């Protein structure tokens, strides 16, 4: 029995099936865009821990920052004994985030915690209960996160009931036949039929839907939501957990919109693989909860905070936002050049380096999760890690580290070309 097989057997016995695992091999080490399993096989990582590693595996600056903090202290609980590094990180984020006026930032541990606390802050600031989200959205696996999430299987199945006063609108997506006008019409109907706007605390959206299929929010949608929110005293929350820290070509995706949110949630690539999340928002909104209303035992973990400082340094010094804007269009051009040879590749879309390929039956246009899965599996056989997403599971998303070496990126595209040709030749 191989080492991977042995570990797989142990994993199945020791851990529950509800934790879905994609790979049957097990990580041993990683560097930048390469991951090696316990048997020494190397993979090019276009998953990056689900968009966590925009700065790559084990960037030397991040490793150094964690090592230095490790020599000082690892934990005090920030709300018991605070420390300068967390204050300085909040100051940096306040200066960088696209928030109008003075901003404040609170740190947590996971993206779901950031979302939960953004809703708490919005309700405290407005005195209202209602929250509006979108179909196809993903906002976490906690109960409030699931209530906000707009995809039932596998996330919500068997876990209800969920917190109340959460409402969903259709998210604009050309392939799904949903326009901005239809989304806004559904909002008007929601206000007429289900909850009056005076009882809505917040509207939350992803500037580019993640699990929903990498659909960018049209600028006319965010502009209209900003107008509606301003008219009715509703807060606009941008969930930038997957879009943040250079993935879309700017530090935050909302920088590419004409309007600014009241609150921004962030996590994933904030700390280069260390568990850290945050909510940044208008100072008067962030100050609404009473002392003790926000926090967490591991919130603002010192090692993660040190890593986050290094991440911001690396993004700036290595011009990773610009690199995102270079690599993403190259990938889009490459994928579109393959569409004639791969009729099932019906759409290529994205923003910066948050790129997706959608697959459907070329005869009837029905989403083809099977084709996407076969592309993913064939790529894996050729040592390229890819992830699927989308409401129908028929989308491949590309989340390579923005630090990936040019030859490795080019080689991955060649593998992808061979995979698309092979799967297209035997469509099943």
pLDDT digits (tens, 9 = 90+) for 10-32: 999 999 999 989 989 999 999 99
pLDDT over 80 (residue 363): yes
Please check whether residues 291 and 205 belong to one and the same domain: yes
Please check whether residues 86 and 26 belong to one and the same domain: no
Spatial strand order in the sheet of 27-31: 27-31, 34-37, 42-45, 384-385
276 in Cβ contact with 109 (< 8 Å): yes
pLDDT, one tens digit per residue, over 96-126 is 999 999 999 999 999 999 999 999 999 999 9
Give whole-number Cα distances, 161 to 147, 158, 164, 249, in Å.
9, 9, 9, 38
CA angle at 409 for the pair 407 and 415, rounded to the nearest 5°: 105
Of 317, 346, 373, the last residue of a domain is 317
CA separation for the pair 211, 168 (Å, rounded): 16
Confidence of residue 1 (pLDDT cuts 50, 70, 90): confident
Closest CA to 204 of 276, 272, 273, 120: 120
The CB-side HSE value for 203 (13 A sphere, CA atoms) comes to 32
Strand partners, 107: 278
Q: What is the pLDDT of residue 254?
A: 98
pLDDT, one tens digit per residue, over 31-83 is 999 999 999 999 999 999 999 999 999 999 999 999 999 999 999 999 999 99
Please check whether residues 155 and 194 belong to one and the same domain: yes
pLDDT, one tens digit per residue, over 150-195 is 998 889 999 889 999 999 999 999 888 999 999 999 999 999 999 9
pLDDT over 70 (residue 137): yes
CB atoms < 10 A from the CB of 264, how many? 30
Please check whether residues 237 and 104 belong to one and the same domain: yes
Q: What is the pLDDT of residue 153?
A: 87
Please check whether residues 312 and 393 belong to one and the same domain: no
Please check whether residues 43 and 141 belong to one and the same domain: no
Of 279, 300, 317, the last residue of a domain is 317
CA separation for the pair 359, 293 (Å, rounded): 45
Please check whether residues 184 and 194 belong to one and the same domain: yes
Confidence of residue 427 (pLDDT cuts 50, 70, 90): low
Please check whether residues 102 and 126 belong to one and the same domain: yes
272 φ/ψ angles, rounded to the nearest 5 degrees: 60, 35
Residue 154's CATH number: 3.40.640.10
Residue 331's CATH number: 3.90.1150.10
CA separation for the pair 200, 237 (Å, rounded): 13
Helix (H, G, I), strand (E, B) or coil at 170: coil
Closest CA to 335 of 314, 352, 354, 349: 349
Output the DSSP codes for 26-52: -EEEEEBTEEEETTS-EEEESSHHHHT
Please check whether residues 247 and 103 belong to one and the same domain: yes
Mean pLDDT of the region 269-273: 97
Confidence of residue 2 (pLDDT cuts 50, 70, 90): confident
Mean pLDDT of the region 374-396: 96
Confidence of residue 425 (pLDDT cuts 50, 70, 90): confident
Distance of CA 191 to the CA centre of its chain: 29
pLDDT over 80 (residue 381): yes
Query: Percent of the chain at pLDDT above 70?
Result: 100
pLDDT over 80 (residue 428): no
Please check whether residues 358 and 298 belong to one and the same domain: no
Closest CA to 382 of 426, 339, 420, 328: 420
pLDDT, one tens digit per residue, over 200-215 is 999 999 999 999 999 9
Please check whether residues 290 and 326 belong to one and the same domain: no
CA separation for the pair 343, 361 (Å, rounded): 8
Domains in the chain: how many in total? 2
CA angle at 402 for the pair 340 and 46, rounded to the nearest 5°: 55
How many residues would you count in the chain?
A: 428
Give whole-number Cα distances, 106 to 94, 168, 285, 295, in Å.
10, 27, 12, 8
CB atoms < 10 A from the CB of 365, how many? 10
For 11, the domain range is 3-58+319-425
Please check whether residues 199 and 89 belong to one and the same domain: yes
Q: What is the pLDDT of residue 160?
A: 86
Of 317, 348, 378, the last residue of a domain is 317
Place of tokens 């929350």: 237
Query: Percent of the chain at pLDDT above 90?
Result: 94
Helix axes 302-317, 60-70, angle to 10 degrees: 150
Helix (H, G, I), strand (E, B) or coil at 347: strand
């Amino acid at each position: 029995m191989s080492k991977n097989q042995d570990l797989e057997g142990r994993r199945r016995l020791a851990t529950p099936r509800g934790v879905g695992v994609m790979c049957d091999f097990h990580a041993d080490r990683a560097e930048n865009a390469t991951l090696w399993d316990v048997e020494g096989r190397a993979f090019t990582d276009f998953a990056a821990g689900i968009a966590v590693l925009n700065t790559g595996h084990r960037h030397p600056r991040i490793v150094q920052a964690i090592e230095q903090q490790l020599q000082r202290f690892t934990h005090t609980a920030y709300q018991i004994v605070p420390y300068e590094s967390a204050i300085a990180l909040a100051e940096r984020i306040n200066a960088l985030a696209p928030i109008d006026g003075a901003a404040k930032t609170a740190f947590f541990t996971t993206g779901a915690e950031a979302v939960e606390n953004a809703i708490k802050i919005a309700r405290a600031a407005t005195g209202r209960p209602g929250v509006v989200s979108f179909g196809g959205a993903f906002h976490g696996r906690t109960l409030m996160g699931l209530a906000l999430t707009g995809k039932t299987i596998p996330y919500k199945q068997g876990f209800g009931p969920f917190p109340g006063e959460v409402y969903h609108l259709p998210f604009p997506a050309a392939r799904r036949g949903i326009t901005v006008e239809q989304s806004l019409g559904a909002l008007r109907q929601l206000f007429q039929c289900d909850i009056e706007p005076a009882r809505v605390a917040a509207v939350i959206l992803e500037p580019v839907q993640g699990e929903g299929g990498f659909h960018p929010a049209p600028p006319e949608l965010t502009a209209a939501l900003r107008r509606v929110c301003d008219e009715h005293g509703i807060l606009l929350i941008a969930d930038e957990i997957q879009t943040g820290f250079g993935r879309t070509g700017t530090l935050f995706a909302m920088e590419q919109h004409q309007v600014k949110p009241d609150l921004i949630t962030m996590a994933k690539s904030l700390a280069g693989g260390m568990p850290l999340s945050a909510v940044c928002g208008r100072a008067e909104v962030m100050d609404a909860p009473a002392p003790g209303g926000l926090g967490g035992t591991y919130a603002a973990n010192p090692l993660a905070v040190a890593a986050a400082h290094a991440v911001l340094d690396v993004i700036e010094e290595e011009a990773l936002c610009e690199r995102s804007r270079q690599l993403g269009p190259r990938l889009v051009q490459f994928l579109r050049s393959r569409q004639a040879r791969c009729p099932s590749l019906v759409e290529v879309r994205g923003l910066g380096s948050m790129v997706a390929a959608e697959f459907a039956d070329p005869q009837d246009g029905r989403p083809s999760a099977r084709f996407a899965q076969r592309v993913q599996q064939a790529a894996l056989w050729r040592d390229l890690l890819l992830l699927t997403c989308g409401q129908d599971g028929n989308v491949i998303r590309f989340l390579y580290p923005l630090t990936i070496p040019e030859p490795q990126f080019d080689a991955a595209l060649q593998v992808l070309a061979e995979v698309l040709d092979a799967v297209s030749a035997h469509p099943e």
